[in-house]
Amino acid sequence: MATKRWDLLLTHATLATLDGDAPFGLVEDGALACADGRIAWYGPMRALPSRASAARIEDLQGRLLTPGLVDCHTHLVFAGNRANEFDMRLNGATYEQIARAGGGIRSSVAAVREASEDELLRQSLPRARSLLRDGATTLEIKSGYGLDFDNERKMLRVARRIGEVLGLTVRTTYLAAHALPPEYRDDADGYVEALIDWLPALHAEGLVDAVDAFCESIGFSPEQTRRVFEAARALGVPVKLHADQLSDLGGAALAAEFDGLSADHVEYTGEDGVRAMAARGTVAVLLPGAFHVLRETKLPPIALLREHGVPMAVATDCNPGTSPLLSLRQAMQLACTHFRLTPEEALRGATVNAAKALGLVDRGALREGLRADLAVWDVAHPAELCYWLGGDLASRLFVGGRPLP
């Protein structure tokens, strides 16, 4: 047999492949090899080809090896913070009351507009590094705190720069339909026309991987959202949607109608919406951080999502107002605690299903041919990723087969 020569060989690992029929796709005392940035082989140590070799070999000594985590919903590019609103909520103010009083998203808009691009990068990088340190090797980052052409562009440019600085995949989402800026306070339709006009130029610059909107009574109506989605479709850009977080406006079904990658939040989504998502392959992105911080009581329709086979992803929703969450693993734990996901559902939600929610088919599992984005954990079993509250469990990360410092 010819000698196999790989770039990287990880040995004596517990592999959570998320592939196959076994729980977690678990392979005890396994090995995994990478070549040219992709997974070239995996299996039990006893099946390792006898003449295999690699430029770099690491003995993981029983540590858990999983795909790198994928955080498929974040707003981590922002300036300042909104800790005062946390205090207001604890003193009885609701999300809607804060928003209608000029707080919420609008206060972040003011801070982003005042910050230079370099300053915005300086403030945002530590948040991205926190997500990276806890196992996330792919991030989605939304705009939506600029709400004019120059500042939306600035946010998207910063998101791209974060990926370049950290060596991660960053998928950018255009979310100008997040709130009404002060200059359009009484002209929602006029603002929708403006943000639609900005989209082609931003897309032409390579700054837009997807388009999103906040379809809600304090955001944008289904009709306005439809106009945004039609503009995205005309450019061949996939859509996502903040759907049914505070009420059921049919957002999940609307996202599915446009073959949306995902409908996110979905606490109030009814069975019709779930059926529509199932029919179109739209992922339900669960955001337990916002549920937790807002002390919500309306649970997403988990049983219906399971019944109809809708993939469930889990994300941090990292943002300054309603989910200041800097750990995707902690989001997994919250999804288990609040939404009763199993640890396996939560891990799949932060890997293979999260990748699907970004339209990425090259990652999210340990399988030959997939991108070698890998996380090594100082635990013995994947359920521990959802069991421990806090702690530094990620000991090693690889992106495209390359170790991150």
Domain CATH for 379: 2.30.40.10
What was the pLDDT predicted at 4?
75
Is the CB of residue 299 less than 8 Å from the CB of residue 267? yes
Q: CB neighbours of 131 closer than 8 A, spacing ≥ 6?
A: 71, 74, 76, 139, 316, 318, 326, 327, 328
Half-sphere exposure of 389 (CA within 13 A, CB side): 3
- Residue 242 forms part of a structural domain: yes
Q: What is the mean pLDDT of residues 253-277?
A: 98
**DSSP 8-state assignment for residue 404:** P
Task: Please tell me whether residues 275 and 148 are part of one structural domain.
Answer: yes
| Angstrom distance (rounded) from CA 401 to CA 267 | 37
Indicate whether 168 pLDDT > 90.
yes
Task: Please tell me whether residues 281 and 375 are part of one structural domain.
Answer: no
Closest to 121 (Cα-Cα) out of 71, 81, 165: 165
Indicate whether 207 pLDDT > 60.
yes
Place of tokens 């945004």: 228
- Residue 79 forms part of a structural domain: yes
- Residue 19 forms part of a structural domain: yes
pLDDT tens digits for range 324-358: 999 999 999 999 999 999 999 999 999 999 999 99
Model confidence band, residue 2 (pLDDT cutoffs 50, 70, 90): low
Task: Please tell me whether residues 109 and 148 are part of one structural domain.
Answer: yes
Task: Please tell me whether residues 141 and 63 are part of one structural domain.
Answer: no
399 beta partners = 402
Domain-terminating residue out of 334, 357, 380: 357
**Residue 322 buriedness (CB in 10 A; 0-12 / 13-18 / 19+):** buried
**Residue 80 buriedness (CB in 10 A; 0-12 / 13-18 / 19+):** middle
- Per cent of the chain over pLDDT 90 is 89
Task: Please tell me whether residues 126 and 255 are part of one structural domain.
Answer: yes
- Per cent of the chain over pLDDT 70 is 99
Task: Please tell me whether residues 141 and 172 are part of one structural domain.
Answer: yes
374 beta partners = 67, 398
Task: Please tell me whether residues 227 and 340 are part of one structural domain.
Answer: yes
- Residue 1 forms part of a structural domain: no
Task: Please tell me whether residues 247 and 304 are part of one structural domain.
Answer: yes
Write out the binding residues for 4-imidazolone-5-propanoate. 82, 145, 178, 245, 322
Write out the binding residues for Fe(3+). 73, 75, 242, 317
Is the CB of residue 277 less than 8 Å from the CB of residue 310? yes
Work out how many domains the chain is built from and give that number: 2
Look up the pTM and report it: 0.96
- Residue 371 forms part of a structural domain: yes
Write out the binding residues. 73, 75, 82, 145, 178, 242, 245, 317, 319, 321-322
Other Cβ atoms within 10 Å of 344 Cβ, number: 17
Is the CB of residue 287 less than 8 Å from the CB of residue 45? no
Indicate whether 369 pLDDT > 70.
yes
Task: Please tell me whether residues 377 and 346 are part of one structural domain.
Answer: no
Task: Please tell me whether residues 168 and 179 are part of one structural domain.
Answer: yes
Task: Please tell me whether residues 95 and 57 are part of one structural domain.
Answer: no
Indicate whether 262 pLDDT > 60.
yes
Q: CB neighbours of 18 closer than 8 A, spacing ≥ 6?
A: 24, 25, 66, 67, 347, 348, 351, 352, 364, 365, 366
- Residue 302 forms part of a structural domain: yes
Domain CATH for 186: 3.20.20.140
263 beta partners = 241, 284
Write out the binding residues for Zn(2+). 73, 75, 242, 317
Indicate whether 1 pLDDT > 50.
no
Task: Please tell me whether residues 108 and 252 are part of one structural domain.
Answer: yes
What single letter denotes the amino acid at residue 346? A
Q: Which domain holds residue 26?
A: 6-68+365-403
- Residue 150 forms part of a structural domain: yes
Write out the binding residues for N-formimidoyl-L-glutamate. 145, 319, 321
pLDDT tens digits for range 108-144: 999 999 999 999 999 999 999 999 999 999 999 999 9
